[in-house]
Every structure is written in structure tokens, then in C-alpha cells.
Amino acid sequence: MDFHNGFSGVFHKYSLSFFLRSLRTRLFLLVFLTGVAACLVVHFVILENYEARAISLRTSEVQTQTRILADHLITYGYLQDTSNEIVNAELTLLANLYDGRVMIINDNLNIIRDTYGISEKRTIISEEVVKCLRKGNDGTTSVYDANNGYIEITTPIIKNASSGGDDSGENKVQGVILISVSTEYISTTLSILGSKARTIELIIIIVLFAFSIIMASVLLRPFDRITSAINELKAGYSDEEISVPDYIETQHIVTAFNQLRARMKALDDSRQEFVSNVSHELKTPITSMKVLADTLMAQPDSPIEMYQDFMQDISSEVDREAQIIDDLLALVKMDKTATELKLSNVDINEMTENILRRLRPIARKNNIELTFDSRRSVTAQIDEVKLSLAIMNLVENAIKYNRDQGWVKVILDADHQNFILTISDSGIGIPEDSIELIFNRFYRVDKSRSREIGGTGLGLSITRSVILMHRGTIDVASTLGEGTTFTVKVPLSYVKG
């Protein structure tokens, strides 16, 4: 059984405290000790009860007998004359029956009869006897001496007023019967019961021990299963979701684990996709360069114009390759320095003006009207380099994906917590089913057009990660053929969290 292996392993390798830290050990101890405690309680309660009950039964039985005897003593006038055979026989019988000793005492405290025959004619001074003489029926006493194993019972011998013709109207105590009854049979029974109980308890404890071990092992098996399922996953044997539905608790662990796994898988998938996209993007310019070069080599006597033309193309492919690498590096750097924003108080109006100034030449080239509408003067705590890059990407897109004679409008506004930059254009717009995807790395709506323009599809992904680093938000609204509006909201002061 794996329980044993587990245990002995733990024993050899680790200390007792480690051993006690095991839930399995604790469960075992809990079941086992509870069982043993219950067993002991039952043992003592039953034996104690038995003893008390046996004593009280015997006492009342003997008391009944002595009361009958007391009546006989009066009837036969035994207190005056102890030679009555019938009564003597009765006394002997009683003594034998209870393996005890009967003494008859008269009202002068003289022992007139002793079934042991050793104390006759002596005077007895015993508290119980005196009390019994004085109090009559109320003086009936019984004392249990557990150490010496007997019960001592005193019963008054009362001459009934009516039966005796005494006109005093009172019951007169004429003597006392003192009887000692052996309780040996009770202690014998007790010890027999005790030893039987001990045997049964021993069996119960052994069974309980085995039961606790099995219980602890069985109850905790689902946890082992979780561990081994996770280990299997770790080793890569299986790709399925773990399912250990035995307990609500294990179900919770497993659900949490599966969610974690799903997230890691999603991350892994996106990383793989990223890598394959990168390789693809990097290969495309190289492929075109190879085609161009091969064409030239295949025609050694082509005119110089053709060479120049092709070289021009090759040069622009090299530029493109360099651009992709730059963007990738920017992206990687963004991931690495995600927590290292170089924050400072920046005049956002000034920053936006600078960005627009740098983009104005491209806008002019494309006949795009570029306007800036600053509704408020805003200073915010941001990383200027990174956020400039983000805004620049947005404005650049607005210019690139525009129509001839179009416009790009940048509006800066603020509330008490955030500043809001909206970049609207009169451009081609984004199809509804692409809106969700444009922030993905390398995603471009129209690959051919983007290539023409020189885009790699990394711009928006960089933009979004910068804005998220600033704990800001970016939203996009677009109508195909009419234009697009990006809304960027960034907290005025950086919120840690």
C-alpha cells in the first residue's frame, strides 16, 4: 500500500515535525485517537455502572431478606431465647447464601448470635448499630467497603405496636440485625468483564489502527492524484485538462490549476505565433531581395537602368527589414522595462505639438491637413519618450491610412483625473471584424496596402502596451470609408498598483 511507502520514506528522510505536518498523519491520528478515546470512555462507564448497579441490587435483596428475618425473630421471640432451631437454620442459610456473617444484637448492644460464633456475648459499639437502635426504620444503613469486598447492612428488629399488644402506640426497636455480605462475586465478575473488555478493546484498537491508516490513505488519495496529474502534465505526457472531482476542495484546486494552465497555454500560443510571425516578416524582404538579385544575375547584360532600378528596390527592402527589426527591438524593450517607467512631469500640449511637427512633412506629402485642438493646458506624470512613441504611432497611422486631401484632427482635453487625446481621421476606416485585432502584433487589415505604405503591424501593439503601462486606456471607433477615431485616456498622475 502506498501509505506505507509514503510513511517509511517520510520517517527516514525527515524529522518528526515534518511527519506531523503531513495531513495524512493528522487524519490518521484524528481517527485513531478519537476511536481509542471513545473505546476507553465506554469501557470505564460500563464497568463503573455495572459495579454500582450490582452493589445496589445486592443491597436491596439482602435488605428484603433481613426484614423478613427481623419479623421472624420477633415472632419466635428469638431475642429472648436463641435456641429456636428454625430461626437458627434460617440464619445459617442466610449467611451461607450470601457468603457472609449475620449478627443479632439486642437493645443492650450485646451480640446474642453470631453465625461465625466468635463474638457472641460481647458488646458491640458501632455507630451504625447505635443509630439503627435509636432511629428504628430510618436507621437502616448499608455501607459498601470496596477495599475489603463486603457490604455491611444494619436492619432494626421492631416489635410492631399493633401485633405486640403494646398500647404505647409506638414501634419499639428491640435489636439490630447486622449482616456483612461478601461482594467477591462482583469483583470477580468485574475482573472477568474487565479482561474480556480489554481483549475486545485490543482487537478494536488494532482494527482501528488499520482502519485509520486506510482511511487516511483513501481520503487523501485525490490529492495524490492531483499531484501526479500535475507531474504528468509537467513531464508533458498528457495535454488534457486535469479532472479530480472527488471533493469540492480538490475540484477547486483543479479548476484553479486548469485556468492557470489555460492562461499559460494562451501565452505560449501567442509567443509561438509571435515567433512565427517575426520569422515570416523578416523573411519576406529577404525573399524579395533574393528574387531581385537572382534576376539580375540571370541577365548579366541587362542595362544599367535596370540595375539601378533593382538596386533601388533592394535598398528599400533593406530599409524595411531594418524597420521591422527596430520595431521588434522597441517591443521587446517595452516588455522588459514594463515596470521601469521614467516618470516626469511633462507638458502634454508641448509634447503633442512636437509630435505633430515631426509628422507634418509626411502629412504634407500625402496632402493631409493636420490640426491640433488643445482645449486645456495639461501637465501629467508620464514617461515622455515612451508615450511620445505611442501617440506618434497613432497620428502616423491616421496619416498613412487616409485618403487624398484628407484631414487628421488631434484634440487634447482633460478632466480632473485623466487627460484625453483623440486622434480622428477622414481615412479608409477599419472593418468591424478587424477592430478587435488591430492591436495584435503584425496584424494589418490590408497586407498589400500596408506593405506599400511600409507598415509592419507592430505600431498599435507598441502603442497599446505603452498606454497600459501608464494605466491608461485606448479605444477605437471606426466607420469603413469614413474615418477612424482613437481615444487615449491617461491618468494625470501615475497610479501605482
Question: Is 457 a residue that touches Mg ion (CB under 5 A)?
Answer: no
Reduced to 3 states, what is the DSSP secondary structure of residue 441? coil
| H helix and E strand count, the chain | 13, 12
Question: Is 457 a residue that touches ligand ATP (CB under 6 A)?
Answer: yes
The closest alpha carbon to 107, from 88, 87, 80, 85, belongs to: 80
Shorter beta-carbon distance to Mg ion: residue 102 or 462: 462
Query: What is the Cα–Cα distance from 150 to 52, expressed in whole angstroms?
Result: 13
Which of 139, 175, 285, 455 contacts ligand ATP by CB under 6 A? 455
Question: Is 425 a residue that touches ligand ATP (CB under 6 A)?
Answer: yes
- 308: cell is 539601378
Handedness of CA 421, 422, 427, 429 (dihedral sign): positive
Stretch that binds ligand ATP, among 92-100, 242-250, 311-319, 453-461 (CB under 6 A): 453-461
Shorter beta-carbon distance to ligand ATP: residue 179 or 430: 430
Q: Residue 427: name its binding partner from ligand ATP, Mg ion, none (Cβ under 5 to 8 Å by kind).
A: ligand ATP
Question: Is 444 a residue that touches ligand ATP (CB under 6 A)?
Answer: yes
CB 317 within 8 A of CB 285: yes
Question: Is 418 a residue that touches ligand ATP (CB under 6 A)?
Answer: no
CB of 494 to Mg ion, least distance (A): 26
Shorter beta-carbon distance to Mg ion: residue 107 or 446: 446
Which of 111, 341, 363, 460 contacts ligand ATP by CB under 6 A? 460
Q: x/- binding map, residues 319-338, to ligand ATP, per CB under 6 A?
A: --------x-----------
Burial class (CB in 10 A: 0-12, 13-18, 19+), 149: middle
Shorter beta-carbon distance to ligand ATP: residue 100 or 457: 457
Stretch that binds ligand ATP, among 27-35, 80-88, 96-104, 452-460 (CB under 6 A): 452-460
Shorter beta-carbon distance to ligand ATP: residue 119 or 450: 450
Residue-wise DSSP of 254-287: HHHHHHHHHHHHHHHHHHHHHHHHHHHHHHHHHH
- Write out the binding residues for Mg ion, residues 383-402 only, by CB under 5 A: 397
Question: Is 428 a residue that touches ligand ATP (CB under 6 A)?
Answer: yes
Strand order of the β-sheet with 172-182 is 111-114, 101-106, 172-182, 150-159, 141-145
CB of 270 to ligand ATP, least distance (A): 16
Shorter beta-carbon distance to ligand ATP: residue 458 or 469: 458
- Residue ranges of alpha helices (H) inside 366-435 are 384-400
Phi and psi at residue 195, to the nearest 5°: -70, -35
Which of 458, 474, 490, 492 contacts ligand ATP by CB under 6 A? 458
CB 418 within 8 A of CB 472: yes
Q: Residue 444: name its binding partner from ligand ATP, Mg ion, none (Cβ under 5 to 8 Å by kind).
A: ligand ATP
Which of 82, 381, 450, 473 contacts ligand ATP by CB under 6 A? 450
CB atoms within 10 A of CB 302: 14
Question: Is 456 a residue that touches ligand ATP (CB under 6 A)?
Answer: yes
Query: What is the Cα–Cα distance from 155 to 63, expressed in whole angstroms?
Result: 7
Question: Is 485 a residue that touches ligand ATP (CB under 6 A)?
Answer: no
CB 350 within 8 A of CB 379: no
- Write out the binding residues for ligand ATP, residues 373-412 only, by CB under 6 A: 393, 397-398, 401
The closest alpha carbon to 62, from 20, 24, 102, 111, belongs to: 102
Residue with cell 476606416: 429
Name the percent of the chain in helix, strand, coil, to the closest 5. 60, 15, 25
CB of 350 to Mg ion, least distance (A): 23
Question: Is 459 a residue that touches Mg ion (CB under 5 A)?
Answer: yes
Q: Greatest CA separation found in the chain?
A: 167
Binding residues (CB under 6 A) for ligand ATP: these are 327, 393, 397-398, 401, 425, 427-430, 438, 443-446, 450, 455-461, 484
Binding residues (CB under 5 A) for Mg ion: these are 397, 459
